Structure formats: C-alpha cells, structure tokens
C-alpha cells in the first residue's frame, strides 16, 4: 500500500484512497456473501445426508450420524467466524468511506480528523463495530436457523443413545475442544479490537 503522508497530503491522494476503500468494501461484502452461501450449501448437504441415513435400507450406526452432524457443525462454525470477520472489515471500510465523503461535502471531519481515523482504523487495524454486532449480524444472515436445526437434530440423536461409548465421547470431546479453539482465535484476533479511547 502507498505510504500516506500525515502532513499536507496531495489532494489527489484522497481520490485514490477512496477508490481503495471502495475495492476493500466490495471484497469484504463478497467474502461475507460467499461464506454465507457456502454455509447454506453445507447445511443442506448435511441435512440430505442425515435424511438419507434415516431412509436407507441399511441402518447407519449412530456413531456415523453423530460424526456427520458434528463435522458439519464444525465447518459451519468456521464459516460463521469468517463471516463475522468479513462483516467487521466491511464496517471498517464503509466507516472510512463515509468519513471521507463527509469531509468532501461538508469539510467535517477536518482533514486532520480524517487522517486520525485512517491512522486508527486502517493503519492501526482496529474495527468500528463490537463483537456482539458481528455475532447478531451473522445470526440474522441465516446462521440462527442453521445452528438451531442442526443442534436440535444432534440433541435428538444423542437422546436416543442407550449408552455413551468411548468413541462417541471422543467425538463430543473433540468437537468441544474445536469450538473452544475457534472461540479463542476469534476473541483474540488483533484486527477485531476496537480502539482504546484516550
């Protein structure tokens, strides 16, 4: 990326930077849509596979049904996290776009304030939105239905078990560890931190 001078920037640079913001916004928007579509496709594939296991003449062992559901949920959690990150980036770029448009239209923010925002959110790699906003945004994008359906099926499948054998317990433990790992990565991801107020 081109280095931005903090004193007396070339006026032509603002137009170039605005074009960069538009490109970044479009990329983040497309990425979010893509992972959401992947998630919906995977959800339907898991449902179809599970339904086929119920209607097949050869009974599929409960271990494999649970494994299919947990594998699908694991991938969906990954897509969910990627969608939240894309949403955070989209909000960042659109915030800077709006600030630049306001500067051009009303000279408010001032150029100095605009450069501070760029330093804080672009160069400082901070986000303008909270993790709760990211969470609700993705849940509303279809993940609430996806997770509700698959977790309900998983609970139903587990409730029919006569006993929890070691292989099934290992599946559940592995899935739980994976969820904790994904959560830690998301919570500690540097670019999802909001700037500290002075």
Domain that holds residue 22: 11-192
Positive or negative CA dihedral for 159, 162, 166, 168? negative
Cα(176)–Cα(170) distance, integer angstroms: 10
Phi, psi dihedrals of residue 60, rounded to the nearest 5°: -85, 130
Phi, psi dihedrals of residue 3, rounded to the nearest 5°: -70, 135
- Report if residue 79 sits inside a domain: yes
Question: Using one digit for the tens of pLDDT, what is the confidence trace for 115-133?
Answer: 999 999 999 999 999 999 9
- Report if residue 1 sits inside a domain: no
- Report if residue 149 sits inside a domain: yes
- Report if residue 53 sits inside a domain: yes
198: CB partners within 8 A, 6+ apart: none
Question: Using one digit for the tens of pLDDT, what is the confidence trace for 173-194?
Answer: 999 999 999 999 999 998 999 9
- Average pLDDT on 4-9 reads 47
Residue 7 pLDDT exceeds 80: no
What is the distance of C-alpha 89 from the center of its chain? 10
Mean pLDDT of the chain: 90
| Domain count within the chain | 1
User: pLDDT band for position 12 (50/70/90)?
Assistant: confident
- Report if residue 89 sits inside a domain: yes
- Report if residue 2 sits inside a domain: no
- Report if residue 171 sits inside a domain: yes
Our CA dihedral for 8, 13, 14, 16, rounded to 10 degrees, sits at -170
């Amino acid at each position: 990326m081109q280095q931005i001078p903090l004193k007396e920037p070339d006026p032509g640079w603002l137009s170039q930077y605005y074009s960069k913001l538009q490109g970044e916004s479009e990329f983040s928007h497309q990425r979010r849509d893509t992972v959401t579509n992947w998630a919906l496709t995977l959800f339907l594939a898991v449902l179809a596979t599970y339904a086929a296991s119920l209607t097949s003449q050869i009974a599929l062992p409960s271990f494999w049904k649970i494994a299919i559901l947990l594998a699908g949920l694991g991938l969906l959690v990954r897509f969910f996290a990627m969608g939240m990150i894309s949403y955070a980036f989209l909000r960042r770029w659109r915030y800077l776009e709006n600030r630049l448009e306001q500067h051009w239209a009303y000279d408010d923010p001032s150029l100095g304030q605009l450069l501070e925002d760029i330093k804080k959110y672009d160069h400082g790699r901070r986000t303008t939105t909270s993790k709760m906003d990211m969470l609700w945004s993705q849940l509303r994008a279809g993940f609430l239905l996806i997770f509700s359906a698959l977790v309900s099926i998983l609970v139903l499948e587990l409730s029919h078990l006569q006993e929890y054998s070691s292989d099934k317990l290992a599946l559940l433990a592995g899935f739980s560890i994976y969820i904790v790992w994904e959560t830690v990565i998301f919570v500690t991801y540097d670019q999802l931190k909001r700037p500290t107020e002075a």
